[in-house]
Amino acid sequence: MKLSITTLPGDGVGPEVTAEAVRVLRAVAEIYGHEFTFDEQPVGGEAIRRHGTPLPTSTLDACLAGDAVLLGAVGSPDFDGLPPGERPEAGLLTLRRALGGYANLRPVVCHDALAGCTPLRAERVAGADILVVRELLGGLYFGEPRGFTTGGDGRASAAHNTMRYTVAEVERVARVAFDAALSRRRRVTSVDKANVLETSRLWRETVSRVALDYPSVALEHLYVDACAMHLISDPRRFDVLLTENLFGDILSDEAAVLAGSLALLASASVGGEVDLYEPVHGSAPDIAGRGVANPLGAISSAALLLRHAARLEREAQDIEAAVETVLRAGYRTPDIARGSGGLGAVGTSEMGQRVIEALAEVADMRHAYHAV
């Protein structure tokens, strides 16, 4: 299969982890006989430095011309003084909207090998397996009007954002969640704040209506505050967790604790013109450039890319199996080294290399199995 992938390494640890994900994809292409091409483009702070804008037209055009986009991270303290609309993050938000992927899938799995490295009791988190489906193009992130109100002294005296959802926006993301539940444990938890917010009332009513089309899927509604608590106290009760943009941003970071590290989480933004794949972790400027960042979230994002954008399920599963193998063998980047009984910390590129070696073994085993 031929696949052209636009890579946007971005800021902080983005380039380091993206390099490993690309290496893994190249290995996949070689092992399974595919042709993947990569077109690297600037985004975020990197793009501001080089082009004066966080999302140059050339970057967006390249993204729209390819089959899928693989992004590292955006954000840099160098631009903390800029207004929201000019920061590196604004580049990512504009990109998300331009590509059109409204459903952001964030799988959260507690690998047995890492159950001891979360701050929670291992017996509570082992086996947790949640798919967060976050609405990505609506709510407070994009609602208008937004802005600052300037007082007489020229300084901001107030600020406002708008939380807005249409029925159509809720419906389409709800369908993604219910469809996903069909091939999982058939349970959707829809999270809102319907005791306070009109947008949440609309959300709840709409999701309940969509649920009628999925009689085999159990739907429960949960307020976001209660959900935050249950995620930590009883994570195994969740299967698919469906929620709006800001709640999803917050709850997915919280859910990352179940996996052992935010750096393990991958995401796919689907439903638009071109899918966008990115690890959930940010640019982590404090550890950038030191070769210690965990590339597994980026590598797992590459697996999601193969699954969703290319329908290469076998290849996606083999990358995931390789990641599992490496973790079971005890290899750990510093973020997951503590309390996990690992072999001591390895760096970013060694971790990538271990995944590639494990991938070759997984593929060999698959080959041997089919040859029998």
The CA-CA-CA angle for residues 59, 78, 50, to 5°, reads: 30
- Of 12, 156, 26, the C-alpha closest to 74 is 12
Q: Does 244 bind Mg ion (CB under 5 A)?
A: no
**Is cis: bond before 119, omega within 30 of 0?**
no
**Least distance in angstroms from the C-beta of 191 to ligand IPM:** 16
Decide whether 18 or 267 has the Cβ nearer to Mg ion: 267
Q: Which does 266 bind (CB under 5 to 8 A by kind): Mg ion, ligand IPM, none?
A: none
Q: How far apart are CA 148 and CA 169, in angstroms?
A: 27
Q: CA 232 to CA 119: how far, in whole Å?
A: 10
Which is nearer to ligand IPM, 32 or 142 (by Cβ)? 142
Catalytic residues: 141, 193, 225, 249, 253
Exactly one of 16, 249, 278, 318 binds Mg ion (CB under 5 A); which one?
A: 249
Task: Name which of 83 and 127 has its Cβ closer to ligand IPM.
Answer: 83
* Smallest distance, ligand IPM to C-beta of residue 142, A: 11
User: What is the smallest separation between the CB atom of 199 and ligand IPM, expressed in angstroms?
Assistant: 18
The residue count of the chain comes to 372
Give me the helices (H) in 114-217, please.
122-125, 167-182, 198-211
| CA-only gyration radius of the chain, Å | 21
Binding at 75: pick from Mg ion, ligand IPM, none (beta carbon under 5-8 Å per type): ligand IPM
Binding site for ligand IPM (CB under 6 A): 74-75, 89, 92, 249, 280, 282
- Give least dist CB 249 to ligand IPM, A: 5
Backbone angles phi, psi at 139, to 5 degrees: 65, -155
352 interacts with, out of Mg ion, ligand IPM, none, CB within 5 to 8 A per kind:
none
Q: Which is nearer to Mg ion, 249 or 315 (CB)?
A: 249
Tokens of 196: 């306070």
The residue at minimum Cβ distance from ligand IPM is: 89
* DSSP single-letter state for residue 337: T
